[in-house]
Structure 1
Amino acid sequence: MAAADLAPQELRVLVAVADEGGFSSAAVRLGATQSAVSHAVRGIERKLGAVLFERGRFGARPTPAGERAAAHARRVLRMLEAMAADVRGADTGEIAGRLRIAAFRSAALHLLPPALERLAALHPGVEVTVAVVREVGPGTAGEVAAGRADLGIATFGDTPALPAGLIGGVLLEEPYSLVHPAGNPAPRTLPLVDWTENCGSYTRDWWAAQDWIPAATVTAEDDGAVLAMVGSGLGMAIMPALSLAAAPPAVEITDLGPGRPYRSIGYATTPELAATSAVRALIRILRSLGRSTPERAKAQLRAV
């Protein structure tokens, strides 16, 4: 027997054990017995020719092979579900079914809502879930690669670097600005407030060349906390346009000039999911909104 002989139920067992971290909790999730789950996992391992889980008192932890197998299993199961939804809508043209999105915080707050509002108006049968994921480490693209999301809203460097097996594209480029307490006469002399997700590879060279930017005095959890701290007079920050979409009146936004850095925001998905109706529909909407977002950001900056 080989991997091609794996049945959908075996894939569900594999995913449940990987997600739950143990055979007993996976059995509860699947409505099966622990022995049946353990037996199924041994059969899967024989078919794949690899040890997928480390067993112990801690439960069952996926090995590197197990992590990869679980990611493939999630994606295969998701495609079976997407196939059913697409086939049902083939004659009517109706787009329906689940759509799972992973997005970093500012994209979830300011980029996705108008896109999802338009998607709901055009295709009310699409059921959307959004997971807010920190853009650190694997980030949103990693959620897609692991099979936990259909589409990720991701930040890119100079060229989109996606995990193997994913495709994507840039939706918009947003400028960085200096953010400081309103009315401060010398904002560049203030301490720096920063957060972990800020200043990726797309701004690192620019950042290093600015001798007026000190090391961060305060590191916050996210960009919303940074804005609150800046508004309270604790320092200045350098932030991208999406993070400033709901900037409070207590902060002032200053253009960094013609050499300002930019951040690219794009989408990541799998080639298979990119061919499904729901993912295609959302990408079209996001591209349309992406073309207008830079102008909105410029208008906001001019207004300040």
Structure 2
Amino acid sequence: MGAATSDQYFPRQYALQNDGQSFTNTAGDITVPVGTKDADVDAVEAWNTTTGGGIKVAVLDSGVASDNPDIAPKVVARTNFSSSATKAGDPVAEDYYGHGTHVDGNVAATVDNTIGVAGVCPGCTILAGKVLNDSGVGSSSSLASGIDWAVSNGAKVVNMSLGVRASRTLETAVNNAWKKGVVLVAAAGNGGNQTKIYPGAYPNVIAVGATDNNDAKAPFSTYGASWVDLAAPGVNVYSTFPNHPFVLATQNNRSQGYDVGNGSSMSSAIVAAAAALAWSAHPGATNSAIRSGLESTADRVAGTGTYWAYGRVNAAGAVK
């Protein structure tokens, strides 16, 4: 394929531009089969309108690596609500699990800098709220605190690539954020069933399921058009990882720096980034209008109306 950017791994980022390419992961021990041309979110086309400059996206996750130069410079604020104490000498919200850094890269990794990958909203900045500890575990109360912090720090979009126990405190935080004009996005989950998870199942949150490079539902993706709103790529999605040891490297044999990741977590991040692009293109819009735009312009791929309500997100459509 002809690379649209100079980023080293951009040709492997089918989520942003799918030319039907086959590729391997960083270590070369995973080969991703040929995909379907244009089974992507049209990020490159969206960039003709905006790259998202000036929009803050709060990523409430396991933190973000301060040692990955593709994403660390995009972080404008960090805080830690998790049960993991900040290690001596490290900045607050450092990521030792790995999940948060991967999610952040999908949102806002620097574009066209010759290294690594590009985020869907490369002009966006990140508010890194650490609500998952260094084992990837969090609580509804820590997430609620993260949402409140994000709103008070000017987030236009809040991404929650996680699931926690439903609680009145969490639902109140979600509803307050929505009332203050924020778009909230969350993963639908990886249970392969229709069981609702939270915060994705709250009405004021966009719940996102996962597709692959052929626009088919990922086998692991939770589904159900009654509560899952959109879909986005979540299988073998290339993004950033820490350059220091992290838990997912041990658990999943992932490389430091950059590698593929799987899950509706990646899908949620991509939709959150598309929402941020839409905010940038329509600065006077309401959060309700941004959400409606994402839903109405989604591509009605197979499973729309059954697995998810509206289809696979299309960033280029959302910025029109």
User: TM exceeds 0.5?
Assistant: no
Question: Per residue, is there more strand in 1 or in 2?
Answer: 1
Larger RCO, structures 1/2 (Cα 8 Å, 6+ apart): 2
Q: Which band: TM-score by shorter chain?
A: under 0.3
TM-score, with normalisation over the residues of structure 2? 0.26
Larger Rg belongs to: 1
TM-score normalised to structure 1 length: 0.27
Of Structure 1 and Structure 2, which has the larger fraction of its residues in helix? 1
